[in-house]
Amino acid sequence: MKNFTIYLLGLIFFVIGILFIMDIFYTKVYENSIPRTKFQYLRSFKNKRIDYIFLGSSRVENSIVPNLIKEKTGKDGINLGFQASKLSDIYTVLRLVKEYNIKVDKVLIQIDYIFNIEEGYSNVFQYEIMPFIRENQVTYQYFDSHFSDRKEIFYFPFYRYCTFGSKIGFREIFANLINKRSKIIENYGFVSLYGNSFNHDNSLPEEINLKNIYFDKIKEFSTRNNIPIVFFCAPFCKHTKNLDFIKKLKQKIPDLYDFSMAIQNDEMFKNCSHLNNEGACFFTEYLADEILK
């Protein structure tokens, strides 16, 4: 019985040791490979200077073309829109800009109906930040505030890579090891959409919340750290219901650039909330003329 107990304990320690080694190996690969995800791309700007950064949801990711802004203004920038981002995610990215000592002349934040949302987070951002949970207090606090299994994610070796294997597991590790490039760097974070669905069922909220705690945190953080912030609303198709919501939003944010009706041509929309590639190019040049030139 004694020998069996010793054998069992040895086996347990061996497995835990292997898990520790795998956890360290996977993390080091993500830290040191050529950026494949937008979060890795953000980290690559540590201790660098950049003219502007766009933050927001997919309505930024699919709408802002930094290459065109470079051609039009000569300014360098990146698109850090993450699909399904809420203001809590945007606040985290803004804090990481400061944490990574990225010097930026202007941060442009897209805001719309997400003003009404305080709960939830972007699944895409969650997966991309996961390998770097132990990197600093900002990444740790992001998981500490959102996830019930945060202790397991943070303390148990290799737990995160097993639980989220389809997103950050072996296939993605192999792609990082062989430096398989994505279009993230080439397009400076922009992701293009093509075609038209002509889905006109989109509707904005009828009422606007009194406040959003993360919006207040973004304002306070940018003021305290002397980060120039510009708020804007990207276009919706003209068929969107309750567009008066943006007028109510502008009452909350008087300096909001309202581009919600900047595009009237349905052929420039993938759907009522997202521009296709043609629309993104048109809107990017329009916004550059209004804000960045």
Q: Residue 237: is its pLDDT beyond 90?
A: yes
Q: What is the pLDDT of residue 262?
A: 97
**Phi/psi at 44 (nearest 5 deg)?**
-70, -10
Q: Residue 45: is its pLDDT beyond 90?
A: yes
How many folded domains does the chain comprise? 1
What average pLDDT does range 82-105 have in this prediction? 96
Residue type, 265: N
Confidence category of residue 276, pLDDT binned at 50, 70, 90:
very high
Q: What is the pLDDT of residue 151?
A: 82
Is residue 89 within 8 Å of residue 210, measured between CB atoms? no
| CA separation for the pair 63, 277 (Å, rounded) | 8
Is residue 59 within 8 Å of residue 92, measured between CB atoms? no
What's 184's domain CATH number? 3.40.50.1110
| CA separation for the pair 222, 225 (Å, rounded) | 5
Confidence category of residue 131, pLDDT binned at 50, 70, 90:
very high
Q: What is the pLDDT of residue 284?
A: 98
Which residue range is the domain that position 269 belongs to? Answer: 2-292
Is residue 121 within 8 Å of residue 56, measured between CB atoms? no
| CA separation for the pair 107, 218 (Å, rounded) | 11
Q: What pTM was computed for the model? A: 0.94
Is residue 56 within 8 Å of residue 90, measured between CB atoms? yes
Pairwise pLDDT comparison (141 vs 218), residue with the higher score:
218
Q: Residues 154-197: pLDDT tens digits? A: 889 999 999 888 899 999 999 999 988 888 889 999 999 999 97
Q: In the block, which residue shows the tokens 């000592």?
A: 101
